[in-house]
Amino acid sequence: MRVLAIETSCDETAAAVVENGNRVLSSVVSSQTDIHSTFGGVVPEIASRAHLELIGAVVGEAMARAGSGPEDLSAVAATIGPGLAGSLLVGVSSAKAYAWSWGLPFVGVNHMEGHLHAAFLEDPALSLPTVVLLVSGGHTMLICMQASGSAAENGRAGATGPVEYRLLGQTLDDAAGEAFDKVARFLGLGYPGGPAIERTAHDGDPGAIAFPRGLANEGYDFSFSGLKTSVIRYMRANPQAPLPDVAASFQEAVVDVLVAKTKKAAAEVGARAVCIGGGVAANTALRERVVRVCEENGYAAFIPSRAMCTDNAAMIAAAAFYRLRMDGPTPLDAPVNPNLRLPLV
């Protein structure tokens, strides 16, 4: 069963063809970073116009690289939310048009569920329950992914059986990626901030400055706005501070809280595995620390490749494959939903 999926929720125009929910035949991502970097962030109107210009070529390229024609496909999927309304509309309208004209079912996919399913692409038999740390530009969540219904069904079930998502905690203010982006902008490191901070931090000392660890001892919720303010105050008081040290110490503060809470959550829910997803999961310091915690505590580590952490359409195809089996197709008159939430138990 081959699914063509389209992802246009923010500033990447992406299309992919994936077989049986885990065999990536093609994954094409056209980034608009260069277009938006002059403005220091994504400009919604420019993003939707760029999606419109790129979508046909990106889908064509994904189909060609997969060696697929419409007759080889079983469904066409697209991200229906959350995201920028105008950007989502381009991907969803295109996917519906392809589905209708090729006589195929359409599947509307939740972008966050796509990030959750990115791990299935590289290891289809994910161990459950899994604690997932979802860290992107818009979200920071700790989720327990478990077999639906009875906990007794947990084990090497993974993508083959129904799963449910239990929210353990989330950010009360800025998302982790947003904190990277805002701090990078303040430090004049450019956009997107995550990779810029990571590059700058490479030559810095992560122990140089003791930035605060937000809500460190309080449950599973996160807070990053105090950390951002603290970096700004520090730079105003110490304008000559070496940027690599500031970037490394900031990155260390974010990674510390993310990893500490993930570790605590995994122990409390009796997790068999820990998984990370979302753009910030591309961060090397975070990836290394999560792997180490898993090794020390006997959890399987599911760390998607960097390309599968940042926005792409292969993860949307993986989630679509799962949703199609669970719920069937999405009606062609289903709207986009910029504020779509994950279905939680």
Contact 92, 12 (CB under 8 A): no
Query: Considering only residues 126, 257, 282, 314, which one is a binding residue for ligand KG4 as defined by CB under 6 A?
Result: 282
Query: Considering CB under 5 A, how many residues would be counted as binding Zn ion?
Result: 2
Q: Which is nearer to Zn ion, 3 or 109 (CB)?
A: 109
Stretch of residues binding ligand KG4 (CB under 6 A), selected from 211-219, 227-235, 263-271, 277-285: 277-285
Of the candidates 127, 51, 122, the residue with the CA atom closest to the CA atom of residue 92: 51
Strand partners, 77: 5, 107
The sign of the torsion formed by the CA atoms of 205, 207, 211, 214 equals positive
Q: Whose CA is closest to 129, among 149, 104, 103, 109?
A: 149
Radius of gyration of the chain (CA): 20
Location of structure tokens 């929910």: 21
Closest CA to 116 of 320, 257, 327, 335: 320
Per rule CB under 6 A, is residue 283 in the interface with ligand KG4?
yes
- Residues 181-210 close enough to bind ligand KG4 by CB under 6 A: 181, 192-195, 198
Among 26, 48, 130, 136, binds Zn ion (CB under 5 A): 136
Q: Nearest approach, Cβ of 88 to ligand KG4 (angstroms)?
A: 12
Asked if 114 touches ligand KG4 (CB under 6 A), the answer is no
Cis peptide before 192 (omega within 30 of 0): yes
Stretch that binds ligand KG4, among 116-124, 176-184, 209-217, 261-269 (CB under 6 A): 176-184
Site string for ligand KG4, 5-44 (x = CB under 6 A): -----x----------------------------------
Three-state SS letters, 189-250 = CCCCHHHHHHHHHCCCCCCCCCCCCCCCCCCCCECCHHHHHHHHHHHHHCCCCCHHHHHHHH
Stretch that binds Zn ion, among 83-91, 136-144, 154-162, 244-252 (CB under 5 A): 136-144
Residues 307-336, interacting with ligand KG4 (CB under 6 A): 310-311
Task: Provide, rounded to whole angstroms, the least separation between the CB of residue 111 and ligand KG4.
Answer: 6
- Decide: is 278 part of the binding site for ligand KG4 (CB under 6 A): yes
The partner in contact with residue 181, picked from ligand KG4, Zn ion, none with C-beta cut-offs of 5 to 8 angstroms by kind, is: ligand KG4
Binding segment (CB under 6 A) for ligand KG4, from list 223-231, 240-248, 279-287, 331-339: 279-287
Q: Does 94 bind ligand KG4 (CB under 6 A)?
A: no
Residue 57 CB: number of other CB atoms within 10 A? 13
Q: Which stretch binds ligand KG4 (CB under 6 A): 28-36, 135-143, 262-270, 297-305?
A: 135-143
Q: Cα–Cα distances in Å, from 242 out to 122, 188, 190, 219, 246?
A: 39, 13, 17, 34, 7
Is residue 162 within 8 A of residue 326, CB to CB? The reply is yes
When CB distances are held under 5 to 8 angstroms depending on the partner's kind, the choice from Zn ion, ligand KG4, none that residue 283 binds is ligand KG4
Token pair 């460190």 in the structure block, residue: 216
Cβ atoms of residues 212 and 253 within 8 Å: yes
The answer to whether the CB of 201 falls within 8 A of the CB of 247 is: yes
Among Zn ion, ligand KG4, none, what does residue 180 contact (CB within 5–8 Å per kind)? ligand KG4
48 or 230, CB closer to Zn ion? 48
Chain mean position to CA 215:
23
Q: Using CB under 5 A, which of the segments 83-91, 129-137, 172-180, 324-332 binds Zn ion?
A: 129-137
Contact between 252 and ligand KG4 (CB under 6 A)? no
**Sites of contact with Zn ion (CB under 5 A):** 136, 311
**Sites of contact with ligand KG4 (CB under 6 A):** 10, 136-138, 177, 180-181, 192-195, 198, 278-280, 282-283, 310-311
